[in-house]
Amino acid sequence: MLKSLKEGDARAFGKLYEKYYHSLYYKAFSIVRDKYIAEDLVQECFTDFYQKKLYNHVHTSLQALLFIRIKHQCLNYLEKENRESSKKRKYSHVVLATESMDYVEQYMENKAKSEEFEKIRHHLSGVLDKLPQQQHSVLLSLYRDGATYKDSAHSMGISLNTFQTYVQRAIKKLRLHFNTEQ
């Protein structure tokens, strides 16, 4: 068979493939433990063997050469997978650290916003408490309760015009207060 290969007989390669495929596959599978990877590696082994004309370099045993090649291909594959897996683990640590930092930054930002909001709410509450009772009530009815002008005026027992006047005066006082603060 080796002589036929060296003479360029393509049928000899087909016979070689049929003769050694299964034993090379089982060897590869015993190393990589994955059916599809083992099949690919054996196919690659035969392809390299034929394309690179490695049969011209066989001086002892063709079978030994094929088994040594498949073993090396499997070990190279596992080494490559191990390197890639290691890179992925390192990368995942970086991603987790980055996500953790993003979470901490977001938490701190939200906490600062919440504290700022609480200060503003407390300050506004104090300013609203200084308004006359009617003005205070109309603003709460509109902005806290979400009622309409008409419904609020009706529930307070006052005319719509009176209600609008209270709202205008309250807003004017709030603007005046906040403009003088700045």
* Structural domains in the chain plus CATH codes: 2-87 (1.10.1740.10), 130-182 (1.10.10)
Q: Which of the two residues, 167 and 110, has the higher pLDDT score?
A: 167
Q: What's the mean pLDDT in 176-182?
A: 75
Counting beta carbons within 10 angstroms of the beta carbon of residue 167, is it exposed (0 to 12), middle (13 to 18) or buried (19 or more)? Answer: buried
Please, which pLDDT band fits residue 173 given cuts at 50, 70 and 90? confident
7: left (phi over 0), alpha (psi -120 to 50) or beta: alpha
pLDDT digits (tens, 9 = 90+) for 146-171: 888 898 899 999 999 999 999 899 88
CA dihedral angle for residue 109, residue 113, residue 116, residue 122, rounded to 10 degrees? -140
Residue with tokens 């953790």: 100
- Rg, C-alpha atoms of the chain: 41
Q: The tokens of 113 are what?
A: 């916003």
pLDDT digits (tens, 9 = 90+) for 6-51: 777 778 888 888 999 999 999 999 999 999 999 999 999 989 888 8
Measured between alpha carbons, how far apart are the two ends of the chain, in Å?
98
Q: What pLDDT, on the 0 to 100 scale, is given for residue 9? A: 76
Q: What pLDDT, on the 0 to 100 scale, is given for residue 94? A: 66
Which residues, 6+ apart, have CB-to-CB distance to 142 below 8 Å?
A: 149, 152, 167
Instruction: Provide the 8-state DSSP code for 157.
Output: T
Please, which pLDDT band fits residue 101 given cuts at 50, 70 and 90? confident
CA angle 103, 105, 113 (to 5 degrees): 110
d(CA 136, CA 120): 17
Distances (CA, A) of 160 to 35, 61, 82, 143: 82, 107, 78, 17
d(CA 24, CA 38): 9
Per mean pLDDT, which range of 9-13, 60-64, 75-79, 89-93 is the poorest? Answer: 89-93
| pTM of full prediction above 0.75 | no
Which residues, 6+ apart, have CB-to-CB distance to 173 below 8 Å?
A: 131, 135
